[in-house]
Amino acid sequence: DTEVTQTPKHLVMGMTNKKSLKCEQHMGHRAMYWYKQKAKKPPELMFVYSYEKLSINESVPSRFSPECPNSSLLNLHLHALQPEDSALYLCASSRGGRGFNSPLHFGNGTRLTVT
């Protein structure tokens, strides 16, 4: 069982839909991450929240919008996605802030399909 909980596990959405992915951890970790993973590729970092402050990866399109309501929750809001955005979206957390080297705890991911 993972200590990072992601919902939903699977999501199918059309290109005009608005949906949100949710992530939750109660380990007191102060850094939370969104990664995107395509098949047979390593995870690619999208966003990092460190002490509830956002570090933006400038290569992420604006149709992805992160939100960190508090230190335990992380959301990823999706709008007007493209079929190429279909992937596994992984949330992770770690003790300490951004750049603090500690073990990552990953969720089981949300498998997103954009039709």
Partner 1 sequence: KNEVEQSPQNLTAQEGEFITINCSYSVGISALHWLQQHPGGGIVSLFMLSSGKKKHGRLIATINIQEKHSSLHITASHPRDSAVYICAAFYSGGGADGLTFGKGTHLIIQP
Q: Can you read off the two tokens belonging to residue 48?
A: 């990092």
* Distances in whole angstroms, Cα of residue 19 to Cα of each of 41, 48, 65, 93, 114: 25, 20, 11, 22, 11
b or e along 41-56 (b: 16 or more beta carbons within 10 Å of the residue's beta carbon)?
Answer: eebeebbbbbeeeeee
How far, in Å, CA of 107 to CA of 89, rounded?
9
User: What gap in Å lies between CA 73 and CA 55, rounded to an integer?
Assistant: 16
Q: Does 5 help bind partner 1 (rule: CB under 8 A)?
A: no
**Span interacting with partner 1, options 14-22, 68-76, 77-85, 94-102, rule CB under 8 A:** 94-102
Among 21, 24, 66, 107, binds partner 1 (CB under 8 A): 107
**Counting contacts by CB under 8 A, is residue 64 touching partner 1?**
no
What is the chain's length? 115
Among 13, 45, 73, 80, binds partner 1 (CB under 8 A): 45
The one among 43, 64, 76, 81 contacting partner 1 by CB under 8 A? 43
- For residue 52, the minimal CB distance to partner 1 (Å) is 15
Amino acid symbol at 51: Y
| Contact pick of 38, 41, 53, 77 for partner 1 (by CB under 8 A) | 41
Residue 66 contacts partner 1 per CB under 8 A: no
- Using CB under 8 A, pick the residue from 33, 64, 112, 114 that binds partner 1: 33
